[in-house]
Amino acid sequence: MRTFFLDHPSVSGNQVVLRGSQARHLRLVLRLEPGEQVRLFDGTGSVYSARINQILKDQACLDILDRYT
């Protein structure tokens, strides 16, 4: 499972948005698609399991499935 760092933890309820280089890497390099799962960590000890919901040009919207501390 691919792992991404949340440089600005933007967790809102059960959703998170990856922006900029993280979103471009997800879309162009890894070629991930909606429905695929990834792991997120925020540098404060929280790790999230998330599913890609939508991928746009410079952002990716994900639904959080689980949070581990």
DSSP alpha helix (H) spans, the chain: 20-24
More confident residue, 67 or 12: 67
pLDDT of 8 over the 80 cut: no
- Taking CA atoms, 8 is separated from 1, 31, 35, 51, in Å, by 21, 23, 23, 19
Cα 60 from Cα 45, distance rounded (Å): 22
Residue 7 has a pLDDT of 72
Per residue in 30-68, pLDDT (tens digit) is: 999 999 999 998 888 889 999 999 999 889 999 999 988
pTM for this model (two decimals): 0.85
Strand-pair category, 37-41 with 3-5:
parallel
Q: Is the dihedral of CA 37, 14, 53, 16 positive or negative?
A: negative
